[in-house]
Amino acid sequence: MPGELTETKRAGNANDQIIPYYTLRILIGAAGISLPILLVIGKLIAENSFRLEYSISDYYDNSTAGDILVGVLFSLAFFLVSYKGYARIDSIAANLGCAFALGVALFPTTSKNTFVHYSHFVFSFLLFSVFIFFSLYLFRKSSPHPTKQKKNRNKVYLVCGILMILCIAGIALCQIFNIDANLHLVFWLESLALASFGFSWITKAEVVFQDEYKKEPASKKVLQVVA
């Protein structure tokens, strides 16, 4: 399987993408982490209220917050379709994520149309399934002899993937048992799932647990290759 040995050939910003890999990963991660915060701020600006909605999707009809929700989802879709990864499966997964993100944005849960309403949940589930697939499988692929920092990053991906699964399960339970909306459990679970998704992508950009050899000056790396 392609892993660290393959990544070192195309690591960092040395690639033919319009947006460099590391930058793109940070942008994707930041979009997920910042979305709940931006929605709360958007509602505060538009309605002068800090009151949370039942779920993140319910901000769709909240003026400024709704514009932010759709805008971030479209931005996320663009970032994902721009991501090619190291193997064809990475690109396919990212392209699917793009389509599902657009589906979440274009099929609001607040719609009175039953088809549109339930399509939103389907697209949301599929989008998080892609996020989980990245964290638990694609990001954790490695060479036969992964570095210490790669092992640490793999632990982060595993925790993030498990957290997303638990959050999705928790949201389903809230729906099934009709948990009191005033507790805002769905909103917090969605926020935690998005934060987990975002942190896994930021970790993939090696903002944390960066391999030591990637911190060395480029001239030193060239000398090591020649040697």
CA–CA gap between residue 6 and residue 178 (Å, rounded): 48
82 within some domain:
yes
Task: Kindly state whether residue 61 falls inside one of the protein's structural domains.
Answer: yes
**Overall number of domains in the chain:** 1
Short-list 58, 207, 193, CA closest to 131: 193
Structural domain includes residue 176: yes
Q: Report whether 153 contacts 209 (CB < 8 A).
A: yes
Instruction: Name the pTM for this structure.
Output: 0.85
54: pLDDT strictly greater than 80? yes
In this prediction, residue 156 carries a pLDDT of: 97
Q: Range of 103's domain?
A: 10-134+146-226
Residue 139, in any domain of the structure: no
Going by C-alpha positions, the residue among 61, 66, 74, 58 that lies closest to residue 42 is: 66
The answer to whether residue 141 sits within a structural domain is no
The answer to the question of residue 1 being in a domain is: no
Q: Burial of 51 by CB count in 10 Å (0-12 exposed, 13-18 middle, 19+ buried)?
A: exposed
Q: What is the per-residue pLDDT across 2-30, written as a single tens digit (0 to 9) for each?
A: 444 444 444 444 455 567 888 999 999 99
